[in-house]
Amino acid sequence: MTTIDKNKLSKLHNTSKMLDDKYGKRGTESREVFQKKAIAFYYGEMLRDRRKELRLTQEYLAEKAGIKRSYISRIEKGDTDMQMSSFIRIAEALGLKFTLSIY
C-alpha cells in the first residue's frame, strides 16, 4: 500500500490558485476577460489544426466558408470572439459536423 506524503502534497501547484493569483478570482472582470480569451484561443487552435490536417490554405477555407481570410487569421490567433454562425460555417467547411444529443 502506498502512503501519501502530506508534506509533498502541500507543495504541489494548484491551478485554480495560480489562475486566481494571476487573473483574479472567478467572477471578477479580469478573470472573465481571461476566460473569454482562453476559449477564443482554444477554438482557434482547433480550427487551425483541422485546416492544416486537411492541407487547406486560409484563403481556400475563407472562400469555402464565405468569410474573409483576415477573419480566419484572427480566429486562428485567438484575436477575435467569433459568432456562432461563423464557427458553424467554418467547421462545416472543414468537414466537422455537429449533432444534438439528448440523453
Say if 9 falls within a structural domain.
Answer: no
Judge whether 19 lies within some domain.
Answer: yes
What tens digit of pLDDT does each residue of 12-30 get? 878 888 899 999 999 999 9
pTM passes above 0.85? no
In a domain, 99, yes or no: no
45, three cell numbers = 487552435
Range(s) of the domain holding residue 61? 15-93
pLDDT digits (tens, 9 = 90+) for 44-59: 999 999 999 999 999 9
Among 6-10, 77-81, 84-88, the least confident range = 6-10
CB burial class (10 A; 0-12, 13-18, 19+) of residue 61?
A: buried
For residue 88, being part of any structural domain is answered with yes
pLDDT band for position 102 (cuts 50, 70, 90) = confident
Domain count, the chain: 1
Whether residue 43 lies inside any domain: the answer is: yes
Angle between helices 84-93 and 69-77 in degrees, nearest 10: 100
CATH code of the domain in which 58 resides: 1.10.260.40
- Give domain status of residue 6, yes or no: no
